[in-house]
Structure 1
Amino acid sequence: MNQTDIKVVKSSGERVDINLEKIHRMVEKSCRHITGVSESLVEMNSGLQFFDGITTKEIQQILIRSASDLISLDHPNYQFVSERLLLFLIQKQVFNTKWKDSEIYPPLGDLIDRNIKLGVYDDVLKYYYTDEDIAKINTFIRHSRDLDFTYAGLQQVVD
């Protein structure tokens, strides 16, 4: 089976050809500014696990597992690569953003409104907090601190 035979199922349900360049760019972004890690090792470690009908979420999980399998005493910085890959997955689920837009975050008020409509949050939040309160809280959020987690630390938050 060659790469053109592998179809990826996007979160929308659309089936598209696997795009190894896109996967490479995601791994590259995950490794950016981290010393002692190799994009190629992360990719090679995961390469044989792709199959026709794989979902984008499964690809992300394979890459996370691939990077986390490389964490060792000699190569501890793969914990940050794994963390970033996991963070991209979380951002997709929470913010519905693509990994390449991982520095773009919707305002907290928009997230609250969306999650109230989805039934995730109770609309009582709007009773206790005004739009001004939520806007002020939004100014305290520093998404750049998400990168301060290790893989194990972020995985504990997820669990």
Structure 2
Amino acid sequence: MVDKVCVGLDNISPSVIALNARIQFFDGIPTSTIQQTLIDSAVGLISDTQPDYTYAAARLFLDKIYKEVYGGVTKPPSLYDHINTMVAMKYYDPMLISSYTAEEIEELNEHLDFSRDTLLSYAAVQQIYSKYLIQDRTTKRRFETPQQMFMVMSMAFHINEPKNRVQ
């Protein structure tokens, strides 16, 4: 996991993140505890001289978000399926489905690029997670990723555009 989040980041070491975490393993340790400890470790390594650790921490946090949103599924649902699910759960306004055609939503789906999430710093991911992602207020479970949030917000802003709202 740590090796994967450090790919393409210069001047940082996955082994430093792992060693700094000082994880005390025991039978039955939840993977969420390991994941949070690694996130905290990477955050603790962010400095003026080592700024890339913010992106490693962000990527670790994004892994946590994807696991929370999708469970064990590695491929996110299409935007159309995601919106329909969120409307059925009463988290999104049904106007998204009634105002956009399935073809328009599928065209927008082609523009979703989840790798763009890795361009965000840890602080940005933390703010998005804590303030903007749709969540169940009781369980605190999130139901969307940053890319889905940005796309659905854009759709909502342009819902009344007469032409070219998908471009």
In structure 1, the partner of 2:69 is 94
In structure 2, the partner of 1:134 is 105
In structure 2, the partner of 1:108 is 79
Residue 52 of structure 1 and its aligned partner are, at CA, apart by 4.7
Give the gaps of 5 or more residues in structure 1: 1-25
Residue 37 of structure 1 and its aligned partner are, at CA, apart by 0.9
Q: Give the structure with the larger strand fraction.
A: 1
Letter in 1 for 2:128: V
- Normalised TM-score (structure 1): 0.71
Alignment match of 1:144 (pick from 90, 109, 115)? 115
Contact 1:49 1:62 in 2 (8 A): no
Mapped partners of 1:58, 1:124: distance in 2:
39
For residues 25-71 of structure 1, the C-alpha deviation after alignment (integer angstroms, 9 at most, x for no partner) is: x0110111211111111111223344554332222211111111011
Q: Give the structure with the larger helix fraction.
A: 1
In structure 2, the partner of 1:7 is none
For residues 66-90 of structure 1, the C-alpha deviation after alignment (integer angstroms, 9 at most, x for no partner) is: 1110111121111110010011111
Contact 1:83 1:150 in 2 (8 A): yes
Q: Which moved more, 1:140-149 or 1:76-85?
A: 140-149
For residues 103-126 of structure 1, the C-alpha deviation after alignment (integer angstroms, 9 at most, x for no partner) is: x43211121122233333343432
In structure 2, the partner of 1:61 is 36
Kindly tell me: are residues 139 and 48 of structure 1, through their superposed partners in 2, closer, same or farther at Cα, counting changes over 3 Å? closer
Letter in 2 for 1:158: Y
Mapped partners of 1:64, 1:111: distance in 2:
27
Measured on the aligned residues, the alpha-carbon RMSD in Å equals 2.0
Contact 2:46 2:52 in 1 (8 A): yes
Contact 2:23 2:37 in 1 (8 A): no
Mapped partners of 1:116, 1:96: distance in 2:
20
Mapped partners of 2:31, 2:87: distance in 1:
27
Contact 1:42 1:63 in 2 (8 A): yes
In structure 1, the partner of 2:8 is 33
- Normalised TM-score (structure 2): 0.68
Q: Which moved more, 1:126-135 or 1:81-90?
A: 126-135
